[in-house]
């Protein structure tokens, strides 16, 4: 499991976490640039959590629930998953709107990337974001990820960034 950061901790998903996560997933501001901007159903939220639990058991990573240590609230998720079901491993994060603008996504993502590259010995971690999602693009920059290319998935354009375990000379 990922070590806690100064303000955040990670843990396995619990069966009733979907109820805590639902207000985050149902916030149009949170899903604006993901899921084609659609709010997921209760069944989709439960399915996401069950898939994350299985992935963690099978591969040692998932999109973990993110707990704000000051109040022990579930404030989102951050972790690793297969990019669009393929072989590449991506970092992903969602935060409750009340926790935006505090550097928490960067703090969580730094811990996840360190876990992926050092503990899991992944060679490369990618991230995708909507080109208009400036906050997420700032996080990727702060993480030292490098822009690679534009990609289209389900008719939506994304930017793809990456970070390698052994970076190329001259590349951050």
Q: What is the pTM of this model?
A: 0.92
Q: Which two tokens stand for residue 112?
A: 């996840």
pLDDT in tens, 71-97: 999 999 999 999 988 899 999 999 999
Question: Does the pLDDT value for residue 170 go beyond 60?
Answer: no
Question: Does the pLDDT value for residue 36 go beyond 90?
Answer: no
Comparing CA positions, the residue from 19, 66, 76 lying closest to residue 42 is 19
Could you tell me the residue ranges of all domains in the chain? 8-125
pLDDT classification of 167: cutoffs 50, 70, 90: low
> E strand or H helix at 20, and its extent?
helix 17-25
Topology adopted by domain 8-125: Aminopeptidase (3.40.630)
Length of the chain counted residue by residue: 172
Residue 157 C-alpha from the chain's centroid: 18
pLDDT in tens, 118-139: 999 999 999 999 999 999 999 9
């Amino acid at each position: 499991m990922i070590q806690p950061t100064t303000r955040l901790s990670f843990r396995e998903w619990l069966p009733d976490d979907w109820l805590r996560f639902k207000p985050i997933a149902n916030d149009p501001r949170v899903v604006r640039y993901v899921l084609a901007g659609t709010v997921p159903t209760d069944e989709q939220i439960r399915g996401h959590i069950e898939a994350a639990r299985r992935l963690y058991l099978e591969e040692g990573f998932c999109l973990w629930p993110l707990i704000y240590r000051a109040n022990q609230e579930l404030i989102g998720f951050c972790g690793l998953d297969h990019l669009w079901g393929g072989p590449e491993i991506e970092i992903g994060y969602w935060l409750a709107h009340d926790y935006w603008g505090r550097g928490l996504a960067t703090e969580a993502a730094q811990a996840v990337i360190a876990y992926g590259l050092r503990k899991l010995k992944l060679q490369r971690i990618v991230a995708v974001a909507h080109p208009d999602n400036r906050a997420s693009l700032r996080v990727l920059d702060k993480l030292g990820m490098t822009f690679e290319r534009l990609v289209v998935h389900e008719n939506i354009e994304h930017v793809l960034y990456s970070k390698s375990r052994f970076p190329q000379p001259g590349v951050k």
